[in-house]
């Protein structure tokens, strides 16, 4: 019994949690299965690695701040918006991200820009990448408050260490020049170090008008489009075609 407690204490010190909490189980299983010494050790180490990977993935997904709809396994290809299954497969392999390419998802409201961006962030987080989903409004708030708020500063520091950042609805509303400069400084700091996904319903040519500063807009586009794939989504709004109603739908004979 003393020996077992020492094993647990050593496991606690070394932070081998599966051994600290399940030492008796491992000993009991070994007495029955009679594995070799190396098999016995590997079974403990494999379990510990799996638990740590699961904890890391859970943490990454929580910090990603994903919207509720983000599972690309459920992507509706029957509602065609310009993305084919082979193209989706290639995007989900994330080779472009490993090569620090950016993505610009452009198109009218409701064609799946946000869903696709969030889904790619979700895939990246599950694969162990530090990935974040932010609306443009949330990002501007972080940039404005990082010098006076510890919470905003911590969020900003996490972004600087990110592997992938999705920024939703960029240029949806006009930006103050100070906010535009702050955004440019972030993109400049991430340039070549992190992939960025942009969703927007405006073409890059319209960004200068939204930013009210052609110089900043040009510099921003230079960083974002240097290594970038522009994906133009099209079609009817998925939300409008599948909108919910409080009324019962009529039956074929016209009755509710």
pLDDT for 79-106, tens place per residue? 666 788 899 999 999 999 999 999 999 9
- Average pLDDT, rounded, for the chain: 85
pTM: 0.77
Q: What is the pLDDT of residue 6?
A: 86
- The answer to whether the CB of 208 falls within 8 A of the CB of 214 is yes
| CB hemisphere CA count around 57 (13 angstroms) | 11
Q: Please provide the size of the chain in residues.
A: 256
Question: Which of these, 233, 207, 15, lies nearest to 105 by C-alpha position?
Answer: 233
Helical segments of 94-135, H only: 95-98, 113-126
- The answer to whether the CB of 142 falls within 8 A of the CB of 156 is yes
Q: What is the pLDDT of residue 102?
A: 94
Distance (Å, whole) CA 202 – CA 106: 7
Average the pLDDT over 53-74 and give the result.
83
List every span in the chain annotated with CATH 3.40.50.300: 65-241
Distance (Å, whole) CA 63 – CA 112: 22
Q: Place 238 in a pLDDT band, splitting at 50, 70 and 90.
A: very low
**For residue 73, pLDDT beyond 80:** yes
Distance (Å, whole) CA 161 – CA 240: 38
Element (H, E) at 195: strand 195-200
CATH no. for 65-241: 3.40.50.300
Residue 161 to residues 5, 60, 67, 143, 203, Cα–Cα distance (Å): 40, 13, 21, 15, 28
């Amino acid at each position: 019994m003393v020996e077992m407690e020492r094993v647990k204490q050593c496991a606690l010190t070394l932070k081998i949690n599966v051994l600290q909490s399940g030492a008796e189980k491992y000993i009991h299983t070994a007495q029955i299965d009679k594995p070799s010494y190396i098999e016995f050790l590997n079974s403990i180490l494999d379990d510990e690695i799996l638990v740590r990977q699961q904890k890391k993935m859970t943490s990454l997904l929580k910090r990603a701040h994903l919207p509720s709809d983000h599972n690309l396994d459920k992507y509706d290809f029957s509602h065609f918006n310009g993305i084919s299954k082979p193209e989706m497969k290639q995007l989900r392999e994330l080779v472009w991200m490993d090569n620090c390419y950016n993505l610009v998802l452009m198109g009218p409201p409701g064609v799946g820009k946000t869903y696709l961006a969030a889904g790619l962030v979700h895939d990246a987080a599950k694969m162990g990448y530090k990935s974040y989903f932010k609306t443009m409004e949330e990002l501007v708030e972080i940039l404005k408050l990082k010098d006076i708020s510890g919470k905003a500063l911590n969020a900003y520091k996490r972004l600087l260490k990110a592997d992938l950042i999705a920024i939703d609805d960029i240029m949806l509303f006009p930006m103050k020049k100070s906010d535009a400069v702050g955004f440019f400084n972030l993109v400049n700091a991430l340039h070549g170090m992190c992939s960025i996904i942009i969703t927007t319903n405006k073409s890059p040519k319209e960004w200068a008008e939204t930013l009210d500063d052609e110089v900043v807009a040009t510099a921003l586009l230079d960083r974002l489009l240097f290594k970038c794939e522009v994906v133009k989504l099209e079609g009817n709004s998925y939300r409008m075609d599948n909108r919910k109603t409080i009324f019962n739908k009529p039956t074929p004979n016209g009755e509710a």
